[in-house]
Structure 1
Amino acid sequence: MEPWIAITITAAFLQNLRSALQKHLQGSLGTRGASFVRFGYGFPVAIVYVLGLHLIGNFAFPALNWTFAIWSVIGGLSQIFATILLVHLFSLRNFAVGTAYSKTEPVQAAIFGFVLLGERLTTGAVVSIIVGVFGVMLISMARLPLSLRNMVTALTGRTALIGIASGAVFGISAVSYRSASLSLQAPNPVMAAAVTLACVTTFQTVFMLVWMLLKDRNEIVQVARSWRSSSLVGLAGVLGSVCWFTAMTLQQVAYVRALGQIELVFTFMASFFLFHERVNRMEIIGCLLIVGGIVGLLFH
């Protein structure tokens, strides 16, 4: 098994754990606060990770450059707003279906990879994208009578658009992080990924702190009071990010995110066992179509 495969599966599990913890937090924190804990409680761990690689693993620090800085800012801001959209989505639909909407990210990442990095799409990849989009349509109209009109309405409905937007912005973020990490031209991809993660999470923490100071200072107080549960979100988030960043440095984003769809298996388990939520047959079929589209994308 290639290293990036095991790393990606681990990342998917940790991401699902973080999302489940964030869903619980949303009851006590606002959308901004529940999104912030992912970065605010995670960046110290990311910095310690870099220092550990340097002091214990004897990995040299790569030289930073303006290309790295630009891609890191783009990726960091994209991830912040994508996370806010995803957390908000959980309040509109149940955990499993809410996550499934955002799982259009890999097919959108493939498109952004073509636009930004010149990675071409094959005919099979285009077909896989269509299959994935059809899966999203089924999820959107799972509780409506099956008709063409309802399908069009479902795809353009508020919940669907928020989910698709979340996936799109996550896709931009993933491609940006790969570009940032590769721009370091470090001899060791693990160190390049670690430095990228530490710089990005530190920037995200400062940005969101300033944002909350300007918009709602009380939210910062609530984040501090919920430090026990919030720190778990931050820890799960940063450990997942370590895996995502490393995998995306080793392999193209479209392939990493495609394999990462194994998260849907973990998601349905969490939805059933933790949140006791019910998902109907059409929602399950829609999610399976999304997974089928992603698997098709992986093979093509």
Structure 2
Amino acid sequence: MELWIPITIAAAFLQNLRSAMQKHLQGRLGTRGASFVRFGYGFPVAILYGVLLHHLAGYPVPRINWSFAIWAVIGGLAQIFATIMLVHLFSLRNFAVGTAYSKTEPVQAAIFGFILLGEKLTIGAIGAIITGVIGVMLISMARMPLSWRNTVTALASRTALVGIASGAVFGISAVAYRSASLSLDGPNPVMQAAMTLACVTTFQTVFMLIWMFWKDKNEIVQVLKTWRSSSLVGLASVFGSAGWFTAMTLQQVAYVRALGQIELVFTFMASYFLFHERINRMEILGCMLIVAGILGLLAG
């Protein structure tokens, strides 16, 4: 078995674990606080990861430039607001369905690429996009009678809009992170990714601390009180990100992202066993169609 395969599966598992713990913390910390712990408790580990690569592996530290700084800030802010939307989504629908909405990100990226960049879509890609859209429609309508009116109502609902927006902003974040990493002048993809991760998580921590201090100082107190659970979220987030970056260094992004959809399997397991949430057949079918659409798009 090639090394990138178990690394990708581990990264997907850690990402799902982080989301599950964030949902658990939301009741005690609120949406903003539950989102903050991903960055606030993760940035020291991200910095340590870069330091270890420098001192143990001998990788030189790349020089930061203005292009890197701009893309890092854009990606960091986009990820903050996408995470907030995703955590809020868990309160609107169950854990598995909320995660499935965010998995429309690759499909949306293809549409944005066609509209904004003029990238051509193959017949297979168009079919994959339609499959993903049908999956989203099924999830939206899973709790109501099937009709065209209900379809329009479901897709215009707050749940659907928040979920689809979350996937779109996560897509912007991913593009910005890749641009930031590539703007660094070497020395290699692993160290460039580590530097990007360390700088972005540090910026996100400072930004959200200022935001919470301005909006509600009590959130900071609650985050400190839940340090045991919150620190686990931060660790899962950083190790998961390190896994994604490493896997994409060893293998093409398309293959890594395709295999990474195994996260939905972990998501359904967490939804059923941890949160005791009921998922009906239409929601399962919708999630399967979203996965099929994403895999078809990446394969094309």
Q: TM-score, normalised by structure 1?
A: 0.94
Which segments of 5 or more consecutive residues in structure 1 lack a partner in the other structure?
none
Q: CA deviation at 1:127?
A: 1.7
Deviations 1:4-48 (A, max 9, x none): 544332221110000011111011101100000000000000000
| Matched AA of 1:78 | A
Task: Specify whether residues 138 and 96 from structure 1 end up closer, same or farther in structure 2 by C-alpha distance, changes over 3 A only.
Answer: same
> Do 1:107 and 1:254's aligned partners in 2 also have CA atoms closer than 8 Å?
no
Residues 137-286 of structure 1 mapped to structure 2, 5 A cutoff: 137-248=137-248, 256-286=256-286
> Do 1:197 and 1:245's aligned partners in 2 also have CA atoms closer than 8 Å?
no
SS state at 1:159 partner: helix
- Look up the match of 1:292: 292
**Root-mean-square deviation (Å):** 1.9
- Look up the match of 2:55: 55
Q: CA deviation at 1:246?
A: 3.6
CA–CA separation in structure 1 for the residues paired with 2:253 and 2:175: 6
Q: CA deviation at 1:106?
A: 1.6
CA–CA separation in structure 2 for the residues paired with 1:21 and 1:279: 19
CA–CA separation in structure 2 for the residues paired with 1:190 and 1:98: 31
Deviations 1:83-132 (A, max 9, x none): 00000000111111111111101212334556788865433222211111
Q: CA deviation at 1:294?
A: 0.9
Count of residues paired in the alignment: 300
Which segments of 5 or more consecutive residues in structure 2 lack a partner in the other structure?
none
SS state at 2:275 partner: coil
| Matched AA of 1:228 | R
Task: Specify whether residues 113 and 3 from structure 1 end up closer, same or farther in structure 2 by C-alpha distance, changes over 3 A only.
Answer: farther
Task: Specify whether residues 4 and 72 from structure 1 end up closer, same or farther in structure 2 by C-alpha distance, changes over 3 A only.
Answer: farther
CA–CA separation in structure 1 for the residues paired with 2:172 and 2:7: 21
- Look up the match of 2:27: 27
Task: Specify whether residues 133 and 285 from structure 1 end up closer, same or farther in structure 2 by C-alpha distance, changes over 3 A only.
Answer: same
Task: Specify whether residues 251 and 75 from structure 1 end up closer, same or farther in structure 2 by C-alpha distance, changes over 3 A only.
Answer: farther
Q: Percent identity?
A: 80
- Look up the match of 1:71: 71
> Do 1:54 and 1:61's aligned partners in 2 also have CA atoms closer than 8 Å?
yes
CA–CA separation in structure 1 for the residues paired with 2:119 and 2:57: 33
Deviations 1:260-297 (A, max 9, x none): 21110000011111111110000000000001101101
> Do 1:113 and 1:253's aligned partners in 2 also have CA atoms closer than 8 Å?
no
| Aligned: 1:8 with 2:29 | no
SS state at 1:295 partner: helix
Deviations 1:225-274 (A, max 9, x none): 10000000000011111122344566665654343211100000111111
SS state at 1:27 partner: helix
SS state at 1:149 partner: helix
More displaced stretch, 290-299 vs 258-267: 258-267
Task: Specify whether residues 220 and 271 from structure 1 end up closer, same or farther in structure 2 by C-alpha distance, changes over 3 A only.
Answer: same
CA–CA separation in structure 2 for the residues paired with 1:252 and 1:5: 12
Task: Specify whether residues 282 and 171 from structure 1 end up closer, same or farther in structure 2 by C-alpha distance, changes over 3 A only.
Answer: same
